[in-house]
Chain A
Amino acid sequence: MEAGNGRPLSTRPHTLPSASATPLGQGKSARRRGPVVVLLAPALGYLLLLFFIPLAILTAVSFMGFRSGLIVREFTLGHYAKFLTDPFYLKILLTTVRIAVSVGVLTVMIGYPVAYFLARTRSKWKGLLLALVLAPELSGVVLRTYGWLVILEDRGVVNTLLQSWGLIATPVKLVHNATGVTIGMTHVLVPFAILALMASIQGIDPTLELAAMNLGASRVRTFLRITLPLSMPGVLGAFFLTFSVSAGAYATPAILGGFFNDTATTEIYTQLLYILNWPFAAAMAVILMAVVLAAVILSARLAGRLTGAPQ
């Protein structure tokens, strides 16, 4: 069995993963830029051609005017100024970020136990259990979101049950607001967090946990002192992933937010597709992307300083 052979080889250092960035590796690569360029070239080149150049062309539109339904060839910063000075749009941006942060935190919290379970279980059904986690992802985003609608609506399953048990008098508002969007989007993204966390937890040598418990530490203590710190790269990685994706998601906010609760993305869709105000839509998209990327970079640095985990 391969795992038996692999395990002695993969003994982890008893420190945080930052130790993997050994001084040796650092010093060498700082002097030799060649390999970095070669390694980055395929992905960066690909995205340059099919993402950054197309995006740059569209971004050029964001500096053009828009009058009576037509794009006017002139230079203006008006669309950026409008978005960044109007409290209405700033509030939409804030809502988007707030929902994205909640979704990021919730997906990691909900995903962690399952990821840990799947990474450690010795059940012969683990293949099936893993497939079950992923199955909801393949059952259609739109339909699944309507499934939530049926469950969460004023006359939906949850409210009907709560009312028939006499727990509440009037329906609790669970959809057509930020709550609904968060519930639905968390559900969509939990499997993503699980996979990302698994990638990290599987890299932790189980013998470390066994050793801690043999020395008398409780399961909870072992988890808090050994497993959790060692899986921080996975926790942060999963958070950034689900945070970024939920900021740009459309279907779930549109259906469960019900247009009472605008996110930056639903606003971008409206402007791009229905109002056909591409300059404003492009400006909003650029702002949203910049905000999300800045948030990711800043919090990665902060987290790196706090935990020592390089991101």
Chain B
Amino acid sequence: MTRDRRTGAETVMGPRAIRFWKRDLPRWGFLALVGAIYAYMFLPILVVVLTSLNPTPYLRLPPQGLSLRWYAAALTPDWLDPFRVSLVIAVASAALATLLALPAAFALVRHRFPGRDVVAALLLSPLSLPAIVTGVAILQFLSLAGMRGLLGFNSLLLGHIVLTVPYAIRTIAISLHGFDRSIEQAAMNLGATPWRTFRHITLPIIKPGLFAGMVFAFIVSFNNVPISLFLVRPGMITLPIRILNYLEYRFDPSLAAVNMLSLAVILVVVTVAERTAGFTRFVYSR
């Protein structure tokens, strides 16, 4: 075993010092690093929170007081209806994208076939095309095909899935890569049907990938502007589109309040899901 023994420096140190250098310092250093990254993640959110609590119609740092007036402005049907549309579309497109992605990810990781790289690239291509182009292309296609009647909920769902499928494929593929297939083999040797093996062995192990794919899909759909812009219809708009429309003429903290409220609602929903359906268990156990 390794350099530590051979180098003279280590032998001078007592076991405690060795433990410190080898175990504790990396551990505390690591936790400090994680803490710093969390801080970085929350820095701009802090600005949004401060903005939403600001009494003046524009942001001044440091803030000049506290006010909930923007939250009152956000709790109107003008904002709540689009929020509901966004939520439903995001949940539905996450679920459907995962269903489409699961078999495709299996094919890409488990099978070798000619043109596999090209197929893999094609399945990911909606990611790198600027979404506004996708939006225009889909609207043009629906219009040419005489399916303009789909505009609204249906087209939003269809369009968002185009964008969310690649994320789901990518994350499921990642979890499949680290998969030891001898376990499946063992299950089948013990007499389990392929379906049982899949359900009881494969699915639990790739769950982190499934979960990551769904969360991506939810976030991507919930935040999408460029595709929604072309696929909404009057009375059926998403929250980001409502915000965009508002931004055309006004730039005030009620938008920050809207975002904070929607974040709060989602966190509450997730917490409830955690209590009832075991959200963390879903992610962590295998």
Q: Do chains A and B touch in the complex (CB under 8 A)?
A: yes
Name A's B-contacting residues (CB within 8 A).
Answer: 1-3, 6-7, 9-13, 17, 20-22, 25-26, 29-30, 33, 35-36, 38-44, 46-47, 50-55, 57-58, 110, 113-114, 117, 126-127, 130-148, 150-151, 157, 187, 190-192, 195-196, 198-200, 202-204, 213, 215-221, 230-231, 233-234, 237-238, 240-241, 244-245, 247-248, 250-251, 264-265, 268-269, 272-273, 278, 281-282, 285, 288-289, 292-293, 296-297, 300-301, 309-311
Please report which residues of chain B, range 180-222, place their CB below 8 angstroms from some CB of chain A when the two chains form the complex: 180-183, 201, 204-205, 208-209, 211-212, 215-216, 219, 222
Contact call A58/B133, Cβ cutoff below 8 A: yes
Contact call A218/B23, Cβ cutoff below 8 A: yes
Contact call B285/A3, Cβ cutoff below 8 A: yes
A175 to chain B, nearest CB (A): 12
B135 to chain A, nearest CB (A): 10
Q: Which of B167, B222, B256, B285 contacts A2 (CB 8 A)?
A: B285
Q: Which of A44, A50, A150, A269 contacts B162 (CB 8 A)?
A: A50
Contact call B177/A233, Cβ cutoff below 8 A: yes
Contact call A196/B170, Cβ cutoff below 8 A: yes
* Interface check B95, CB cutoff 8 A: no
Please report which residues of chain B, range 133-181, place their CB below 8 angstroms from some CB of chain A when the two chains form the complex: 133-134, 136-138, 140-141, 144, 158-159, 161-162, 165, 167, 169-171, 173-175, 177-181
Q: A21-B112, A131-B267 are in contact. Are A219 and B285 (CB under 8 A)?
A: no
A290 to chain B, nearest CB (A): 9
Contact call B42/A241, Cβ cutoff below 8 A: no
Closest to A268 in B: B130
Contact call A248/B127, Cβ cutoff below 8 A: yes
Contact call A216/B126, Cβ cutoff below 8 A: no
Q: A40-B107, A144-B44, A157-B61 are in contact. Are A20 and B178 (CB under 8 A)?
A: yes
Contact call A140/B255, Cβ cutoff below 8 A: yes
Give CA–CA (A234, B137) in the complex, Å: 32
Contact call B43/A43, Cβ cutoff below 8 A: no
Task: Name the A residues within 8 Å of B161 (CB-CB).
Answer: 46, 50
Sample of 14 further A-B pairs with CB below 8 A, known A140-B256, A150-B59, A218-B23: A36-B107, A44-B122, A46-B161, A51-B126, A54-B137, A57-B140, A113-B34, A134-B215, A134-B219, A233-B173, A233-B174, A244-B128, A248-B127, A301-B117
B17 to chain A, nearest CB (A): 13
Contact call A11/B180, Cβ cutoff below 8 A: yes
Contact call A139/B45, Cβ cutoff below 8 A: yes
Task: Name the B residues within 8 Å of A136 (CB-CB).
Answer: 41-42, 44-45
Task: Name the A residues within 8 Å of B179 (CB-CB).
Answer: 20, 203
Q: A43-B104, A43-B123, A140-B243 are in contact. Are A233 and B111 (CB under 8 A)?
A: no
Contact call A114/B37, Cβ cutoff below 8 A: yes
Closest to B119 in A: A40
Closest to A188 in B: B223
Provide 23 A-B residue pairs closer than 8 Å at the C-beta atoms, listed in order of the A residue. A13-B180, A20-B180, A20-B181, A36-B113, A46-B162, A47-B162, A53-B141, A57-B141, A113-B37, A134-B219, A137-B223, A140-B256, A150-B59, A187-B40, A195-B212, A200-B174, A217-B2, A219-B22, A237-B170, A237-B173, A237-B174, A272-B133, A309-B177
Closest to B47 in A: A147
Task: Name the B residues within 8 Å of A47 (CB-CB).
Answer: 122-123, 126, 162, 165
Q: A26-B112, A58-B133 are in contact. Are A139 and B48 (CB under 8 A)?
A: yes
Q: A54-B137, A58-B133 are in contact. Are A113 and B171 (CB under 8 A)?
A: no
Give CA–CA (A240, B177) in the complex, Å: 15
Q: A10-B183, A17-B177, A218-B26 are in contact. Are A241 and B167 (CB under 8 A)?
A: yes
Give CA–CA (A44, B2) in the complex, Å: 51
